[in-house]
Amino acid sequence: MHLSSVVPWGRNLAEYQRMFGLTPRDLEGKILGVGDGPASFNAELSAKGGQVVSIDPIYKFSGQEIARRIDEITPVMRAELNKHSANYLWKDFSDVDQLVACRTSSMSIFLEDYEHGIREGRYLEGVLPRLPASGVYDLALCSHLLFLYEENLNFEFHINSLLEMCRVSDEARVYPLVNQAGQQSRFLNPSLKRLNEAGYHCHVVQVGYCFQRGANEMLVIRRR
Ligand SMILES: C[S@@+](CC[C@H](N)C(=O)[O-])C[C@H]1O[C@@H](n2cnc3c(N)ncnc32)[C@H](O)[C@@H]1O
């Protein structure tokens, strides 16, 4: 993987809590964040005493390299958000400037924590559909990767990644369930069918977070 092909963009703990309906009890468990990238979820939760490990291919790069890529990509993201602002609900964020400031703040918190977090084993390089972990987590979370990028990641990738998240955790949650156009992913129903056949209970649950239009649901998967 080349860093030039990566768009690092990260959300914060409060957003993760709302995207995944995380309760105080959920946050006390051992959590695996899959594809966390430069989100500040891990840094913020760890600072509060939480137990969280994040996995992402960008963790093979140094903090300096990731910071440089964030600086390159931020104006591009700002331009894209301005161009497609109608695809988003401007409720939690009043405008593009406020959103970019929030993302920049999250990514700064991540960068400040990164080297320390690597030493503590909280940021692990890894690439779905394989995870470098065995079944030790209470909860595996994946935000803004599966379903959203259905144009780039095929169905086999999706089902193998979902089964892999279930292999290493008691419960998996994925958000959002829409593609980049805001339509329900065409892989959602076939994934539910395959997961059911493999012995899992799947629930589509409404959540209290919605920034991209249509993105107000998560998938919860548990072994039957
Ligand atoms: C849009 S970002 C979302 C970051 C974070 N989850 C959030 O919501 O703020 C998508 C992340 O998925 C990571 N990613 C891309 N392909 C991946 C793969 N095959 N396995 C795991 N992570 C991947 C990227 O490096 C990037 O950090």
Unique residue bearing structure tokens 């994946």 = 142
The answer, yes or no, to whether any atom of ligand 1 lies below 6 A from the CB of 127, is yes
CA of 153 to the centre of ligand 1 (A): 12
- Per-residue pLDDT, 132: 83
Q: Are 173 and 20 contacting, i.e. CB atoms less than 8 angstroms apart? A: yes
pLDDT tens digit sequence for 49-81: 999 999 999 999 999 999 999 999 999 999 999
The answer, yes or no, to whether any atom of ligand 1 lies below 6 A from the CB of 6, is yes
Report CA torsion sign: 21, 174, 221, 110.
Answer: negative
Q: How far apart are CA 33 and CA 159, in angstroms?
A: 18
pLDDT tens digit sequence for 14-35: 999 999 999 999 999 999 999 9
The answer, yes or no, to whether any atom of ligand 1 lies below 6 A from the CB of 15, is no
The answer, yes or no, to whether any atom of ligand 1 lies below 6 A from the CB of 12, is no
The answer, yes or no, to whether any atom of ligand 1 lies below 6 A from the CB of 11, is yes
| Predicted model pTM | 0.97
CA of 55 to the centre of ligand 1 (A): 9
Q: Give the pair of three-digit tokens for residue 109.
A: 């918190």
Q: Are 88 and 69 contacting, i.e. CB atoms less than 8 angstroms apart? A: no
Q: Are 158 and 187 contacting, i.e. CB atoms less than 8 angstroms apart? A: yes
Angle between helices 96-119 and 63-83 (to 10 degrees): 160
- Residue 125 is classified by DSSP as -
- Per-residue pLDDT, 4: 72
Can you name the residues that pair with 143 across neighbouring β-strands? 175
Q: Please provide residue 170's backbone torsions phi and psi, each rounded to the nearest 5 degrees.
A: -70, -30
Q: How far apart are CA 199 and CA 45, in angstroms?
A: 31
Residues of the chain scoring pLDDT < 70: 1, 133-135
Pocket test for ligand 1, best of 12, 56, 153, 168 (most atoms within 8 A of CB): 56
- Give how far Cα 126 sits from Cα of 32, 60, 78, 161, Å: 12, 9, 28, 12
The answer, yes or no, to whether any atom of ligand 1 lies below 6 A from the CB of 39, is yes
Can you name the residues that pair with 31 across neighbouring β-strands? 52, 139
Residue 38 preceded by cis peptide, ω within 30: no
Q: How far apart are CA 158 and CA 187, in angstroms?
A: 8
Domain 3-223: CATH architecture, name and number where available: 3-Layer(aba) Sandwich (3.40)
Q: How far apart are CA 140 and CA 28, in angstroms?
A: 13
The answer, yes or no, to whether any atom of ligand 1 lies below 6 A from the CB of 57, is yes
Q: How far apart are CA 175 and CA 208, in angstroms?
A: 12
The answer, yes or no, to whether any atom of ligand 1 lies below 6 A from the CB of 129, is no
User: Ligand 1 atom closest to Cα of 10?
Assistant: 9
